[in-house]
Amino acid sequence: MVNLLGLPPNELQAFCAALGEKPFRAKQLLRWIHHAGVDDFGAMTDVSKALRERLVQSASIAAPCVRRDTTAADGTRKWLLHVGTNNAIETVFIPETARGTLCISSQAGCALECSFCSTGRQGFNRNLSVAEIIGQLWLANRALGRGVSEERPITNVVMMGMGEPLANFDNVVAAMELMLDDSAYGLSRRRVTLSTSGLVPAIDRLREACPVALAVSLHAPNDELRNELVPINRKYPIRELLAACVRYIEKAPRDFVTFEYVMLDGVNDAPAHAHELVRVLSDVPCKVNLIPFNPFPASGYARSRGEAVARFRDILMTSEITTTVRKTRGDDIDAACGQLAGEVQDRTRRQARREARAAHSGSEVKRLMEERIG
> From the candidates 21, 90, 132, 177, which is the catalytic residue?
90
Specify the amino acid at residue 261.
Y
CB of 117 to ligand SF4, least distance (A): 3
Which one, 156 or 195, has the nearer CB to ligand SAH?
Answer: 195
How many whole angstroms separate alpha carbon 225 and alpha carbon 27?
49
Give the residue among 238, 250, 175, 246 at the shortest CA–CA distance from 211: 250
Which one, 12 or 344, has the nearer CB to ligand SF4?
Answer: 344
| Near ligand SAH by CB under 6 A: residue from 76, 87, 122, 195 | 195
CB of 297 to ligand SF4, least distance (A): 16
3-state secondary structure (DSSP) of residue 193: strand
Which one, 119 or 304, has the nearer CB to ligand SF4?
Answer: 119
Q: By CB under 6 A, is residue 293 in contact with ligand SAH? A: yes
Count of CB atoms situated within 10 Å of the CB of 42: 12
Handedness of CA 359, 361, 365, 366 (dihedral sign): positive
CB of 277 to ligand SAH, least distance (A): 15
Q: By CB under 6 A, is residue 249 in contact with ligand SAH? A: no
| Near ligand SAH by CB under 6 A: residue from 63, 88, 92, 117 | 117
Which one, 187 or 336, has the nearer CB to ligand SF4?
Answer: 336
Which one, 92 or 315, has the nearer CB to ligand SF4?
Answer: 92
CB of 120 to ligand SF4, least distance (A): 3
CA dihedral of 325, 287, 210, 219, whole degrees rounded to 10: -60
Q: Is 337 an annotated catalytic residue?
A: yes
Count of CB atoms situated within 10 Å of the CB of 17: 13
Q: By CB under 6 A, is residue 341 in contact with ligand SAH? A: no
What is the phi/psi pair of residue 186, to 5°?
Answer: 60, 35
Q: Are 231 and 164 in contact (CB under 8 A)?
A: no
Give the residue among 8, 2, 9, 146 at the shortest CA–CA distance from 62: 2
CB of 135 to ligand SF4, least distance (A): 19
Q: Is 276 an annotated catalytic residue?
A: no
Contact partner at residue 160 from ligand SAH, ligand SF4, none, CB < 5 to 8 Å by partner kind: ligand SAH
Give the residue among 100, 110, 116 at the shortest CA–CA distance from 345: 110
How many whole angstroms separate alpha carbon 119 and alpha carbon 87?
12
Which one, 62 or 209, has the nearer CB to ligand SAH?
Answer: 209
* Secondary element (H or E) of residue 132: helix 130-144
How many residues in the shown chain lie near ligand SAH by CB under 6 A?
17
CB of 19 to ligand SAH, least distance (A): 38
Q: By CB under 6 A, is residue 238 in contact with ligand SAH? A: no
Q: By CB under 6 A, is residue 175 in contact with ligand SAH? A: no
CB of 228 to ligand SAH, least distance (A): 14
Contact partner at residue 13 from ligand SAH, ligand SF4, none, CB < 5 to 8 Å by partner kind: none
> From the candidates 114, 117, 286, 337, which is the catalytic residue?
337
Contact partner at residue 132 from ligand SF4, ligand SAH, none, CB < 5 to 8 Å by partner kind: none
Binding site for ligand SF4 (CB under 6 A): 110, 112-114, 117, 119-120, 163-164, 197, 217
* Secondary element (H or E) of residue 313: helix 306-318
| Segment interacting with ligand SAH, rule: CB under 6 A, options 16-24, 171-179, 189-197, 243-251 | 189-197
Half-sphere exposure of residue 44: CA atoms within 13 angstroms, side-chain side: 27
Handedness of CA 291, 295, 300, 305 (dihedral sign): positive
3-state secondary structure (DSSP) of residue 124: strand
What is the phi/psi pair of residue 209, to 5°?
Answer: -80, -40
Q: By CB under 6 A, is residue 312 in contact with ligand SAH? A: no
CA dihedral of 324, 234, 304, 72, whole degrees rounded to 10: 70
Q: Are 365 and 356 in contact (CB under 8 A)?
A: yes
Q: Are 21 and 42 in contact (CB under 8 A)?
A: no
The residues that are catalytic are 90, 337
Residue numbers at the binding site for ligand SAH (CB under 6 A)? 114, 116-118, 160, 164, 195-197, 217, 260, 262, 291, 293-294, 336-337
